Structure 1
Amino acid sequence: MKPKKTLVLIILFFLFPLALLAQASLPDSSKLVKLRIDPVNSLGASVSDVFSEVEFIPLETSKDCLFGNIENLKIVDDHFVFFDYDTRSVYIFTAQGKYKTKIDAKKVPQERSKKEENNFYGFVVEQVDGKDRIGIYTRKTMFFFDLDAKLVKKVSHDDPVRKNNRPKTYFKSQDAYVETYHLEKKDKDSIYYEIVTYNNNKETGKYFSYNPDKFRTDSPIGNGTGVFDYGADKEMFFVRPHDYTLYLATPDKLYMAYRFIFPFSLTLPADFSTAEEYKGKKFEYLRKNDKKIYGIGNTYQIGDNLFFKTHQMEFNQSQKNSFVYNFKNGRLLSMVDLQPDTLSQFLPVTDAGLGYDFRQRGFQLYKDGYFYTTYSSLVLYTVKDQNADKKRTYDDRLTQTFKKGSRKDNPIIVKLKPKTN
């Protein structure tokens, strides 16, 4: 063999593994379990069949803190933090429901002409100098506030660290995490990955590559890409749009954990994400086939119970779209059909059948072993009035609320401890 050919082969031999590393990893399918799910035939249950604790937390109402709805509920240092679209503000309440303060447009420094409205449309919670802070995005800057609504730091989006920062969800070990919407390289052929796993701060796998240019002519509908932390040491769930597979992310790799098999009438075409006939027409297809399930979300495994939500264009008060599946007995319970009982003081734990918050959002938060849902005071007082002739008794907090409050009060938060079997 000639020396030049030998040198070329040696170079290719060493470059080949590097080329493989640049490619997307494949999820491990060795542990995949198929679950046959028929939402129509899901069962009803009482609140105490699913939960062991229920706590109602009415939020203080005054002219300084009157708002419409709770969006993006978070718990930061034992405080409730959430966004309200009606007032374009981030509200901060104590764990007992007492109003503390809010972050509105007046507290965010003006970047544009004074003639333009200084609005923002949400927030994130990020670590800044070792402490959780409330981050507000503007066109040029990220502003960070503490729980007193005091501005503590601002970072330009052009800052090199900020530009390369992608959403991270940490396992209990702070040196292991997953990163979503990961940018591999930025040029005319930019490549992103939907999820990347890290262990000891080192990349261990990158999955589902995509070029953002595709969103100019086609885009996924609905629930998008999401990570759901259910309190396990080294596990969390990951979901993708138009995909009935529930992925299990670990510090070392991504597994295909469960695949939902729905009735044919509810199932998307197998090539919905890839076929040319649906390119740029996904919304139109789903609007005409509004019962089709186009994604799953709100996925949490608590002991023997798997909680999840289905996403469909159809939206009505009789629709079943939030469930708990028990691995031991194979029962599928409908969360929107939960019946109040003594544990819930004969009050509903969701507004299903009376409102739309739970059907739209499902559980807003799972943290430290508890789910959190929200609904309006209108729903609360409607049910209370329906129970008036049944001589119901309520705990001290609700008793005082009913004495002083009204249907026009701020929404309430419901804290629920799920059973594990």
Structure 2
Amino acid sequence: METSEAHRTAETVFRMERARLIAGLARIVRDVGRAEELAQDALVVALDRWPTSGIPDNPAAWLMATAKRRAIDALRRARMMERKHDEIGRDLELEQDSTIEAIEASMDDDIGDERLSLIFAACHPVLSTDARVALTLRLIGGLTTDEIARAFLSSETTIAQRIVRAKKSLGGAGIAYEVPRGAERDARLASVLEVVYLIFNEGYAASAGEDAIRPQLCTEAMRLGRILARLAPDDPEVHGLLALMEIQSSRLIARNGPDGVPLTLETQNRARWDQLLIHRGFAALERVRALGGEDGAYALQAALAACHARARRFEDTDWRMIAGLYDRLLAVLPSPVVALNRAVAHAMAFGPETGLALLDALEDEPALKGYAPMAAARGDFLLRAGRRAEARVAFERAAELSGNESERAFLLGRTRECGTS
């Protein structure tokens, strides 16, 4: 077999199976960093051997078996070293023997899909939110530290250190690489979904930098969502989040104009919306309904996105339905940002003065102080109410507060809609 062909096959299989390999190995060695090293070592062995021995019938199982053997070898070397220094007692020796026997007994096991346990570990509450996001993208998404750094406008060194610290924290906390049960599972799943949604949102509406969107992050988040939907098929919120991401992503290609400046729902070319993603999102929403989870936070947000997806023109948007959905969402997810979005929906459904009254009620919310979308919403309501001079001031304020250059250009464009003062 040609070396190049064997190498391509090995690298492709490794890329597809990497997360599964690390997950299976982490459950054995109880150290996600070491598991990652063992998986990489197995690839190196495959690159060396497959060109001469041929590609095995089950390449993924071959990689796992090779990695497990290396884990056994490492345990045996450690035991021999300890013996040489007379630092090992009979109890510890028996414990290590049983560890090795357990690994050897699993050599012929079917790999199984253990990625869910790895996702739960990467999103463990012992880690900070930033660490969970970075580790999830590294272990499950397969992104390099450089790719993660570029996506979040950070330095590669910072991301690398964050990932290393996260691995050490998991090791120090003695995390079990398994899916928790009962109430702990529900709480941890909420953390998992939160991390995936944070990744998606940073791609869909970048908080800083020159680009308004980062499609790679949206793609990775959707891939994680699809993995979760396969591994937790009976959880409605998993399907709700997937539906939300699929439908929102359908608009990515139409969200920016030729100059890179964001376009509002009112000005987007809806013929460019991805109908395949919309239909996939609708299918996920149907799954939510079948599971009786329509009032979940992600399910309600997906239903909101679906309202926009069903409208062939902006004028066809059912704003009263959207306002009602936001009323329900605020009840299950009380947050200042949801309240702000609810104000926007009510302004569109019942008039700008209604929206302005709702904004006034949010003026004392600390989380909305210095929040560009709050000032932008006020500007939009004022402009719709014919109060152009006040609207211009609000849009200028929003532009000052924005940390994203494309968004800032969009907001300055809105000031021009208000005319001169």
- Normalising by structure 2, report the TM-score: 0.24
Task: From the two aligned structures, give the one with the greater helix fraction.
Answer: 2
The higher-RCO structure (CA 8 Å, 6+ apart) is: 1
Q: Which structure is higher in strand share? A: 1
Which has the higher Rg, Structure 1 or Structure 2?
A: 2
